[in-house]
Amino acid sequence: MAAGDGEEGEVAGRGLTAERSRVASASDVGYLEGVIPIIVDLPMVLGHEATGTVEEVGEGVTDFKVGDEVAQAVKATDAPGVSRDGGYGEYVIGNVEMLVHKPAGVSRSQASAATDAGVTSYSGVVVHGGIKKGMRVGILGLGGLGMTGARIAVAQGAEVIGIEPREQVWEAAKERGVSRVVKDVSELAGEDLDVVVDFAGFGETTVKAIDAVKFGGTVVLVGMGKLEFEFSSFDFITRAINLQGSTTIGRREDLEAVLKMIADGDLVIESSDIAFDEIPDGIDRLAKGEVSGRLVARYDS
């Protein structure tokens, strides 16, 4: 990972020598299949969740030096593998304004997964959901992001109820501190939850979540299972429900918060390591829905 003060806040320099990690993610599948638009001219190297070692810094950089282990916060318009060549390449250019030091006690695999997957969950739960101690919270969809989000909500001191039709993951959710799990969010209608975070986003999940929150409660939409849906405005208006969209916004403090939770032992993001030459097979497995958690490609020099 390089750090510097080049044009438009970009990093001047190159980096990521020694051991390197990049996450192979479902977003990469979306780029390859044309579901998620690419904002720069092709060709481009994918891989937007990267950690590594600083090899070179730009002029005027004082917060980072050669040899530092770092990770970069990401957002939709500024990230490796999104707005510039990414982590599947030999070097990565990063934005010094979003660069953070990797804590010594956090592995490369966990740090890579934290940069987007961890921060996406954190953003839905803390940044946009405002979840804090004493709240009653529903986490809708206990896949990789939802399970991470559930654990983050528990760590904030909330009572967490999971919503997930796949019973085989219920025990894992309870091991992470979830108090109980139901199959459908409609089972929580009238329970007056403070917040429901929808990591599924299939339209009807969001609509049903409105009935589960209290007057003035909040439904946070993270998942994009369905990109368009209709809902009745009556309950939305008469019960003063807040519907909040959520995505990562590239703040280093959010990534630092997730990394601290990992370093403190409060959070483990489910992941498995693969080698560089296994990336194509890994992306194929992601496309087929055969991956649980994140795949982390580790480059050892």
- 89 and 106 co-located in one domain: yes
Is 268 exposed, middle or buried, given 0-12, 13-18 or 19+ CB atoms closer than 10 A? middle
CA-wise closest residue to 24 among 57, 39, 44, 46: 46
Q: Which domain holds residue 229?
A: 129-245
Q: pLDDT value at position 17?
A: 34
- Which of 245, 268, 287 delimits the end of a domain? 245
In this model, does residue 5 exceed pLDDT 50?
no
pLDDT band, residue 1 (cuts 50/70/90): very low
Q: pLDDT value at position 14?
A: 35
pLDDT band, residue 205 (cuts 50/70/90): very high
Of 22-31, 59-68, 149-158, 205-214, give the lowest mean pLDDT range: 22-31
Domain of 263, CATH number, reads 3.90.180.10
Number of domains in the chain: 2
Separation in Å, CA 66 to CA 14, 69, 260 = 11, 9, 23
124 is a domain residue = no
CA distance 128 to 162: 18
pLDDT band, residue 34 (cuts 50/70/90): confident
Q: pLDDT value at position 257?
A: 98
pLDDT band, residue 234 (cuts 50/70/90): very high
- 161 and 88 co-located in one domain: no
In this model, does residue 291 exceed pLDDT 80?
no
Q: Which residue has the higher pLDDT, 279 or 199?
A: 199
CA distance 267 to 152: 7
In this model, does residue 6 exceed pLDDT 70?
no
Q: pLDDT value at position 81?
A: 85
Separation in Å, CA 278 to CA 1, 24, 30, 108, 208 = 22, 10, 19, 18, 40
- 240 and 203 co-located in one domain: yes
Q: pLDDT value at position 25?
A: 65
Instruction: Taking residues 19-42, report their average pLDDT.
Output: 70
- For the entire predicted model, the pTM comes to 0.87
- Which of 204, 224, 245 delimits the end of a domain? 245
Contacts of 157 (CB under 8 A, 6+ apart): 132, 133, 134
CA distance 39 to 61: 28
| Tokens at 189, concatenated | 């209608």
In this model, does residue 22 exceed pLDDT 70?
no
Domain of 237, CATH number, reads 3.40.50.720
Tens of pLDDT, residue by residue over 44-63, are: 888 888 898 999 998 888 89
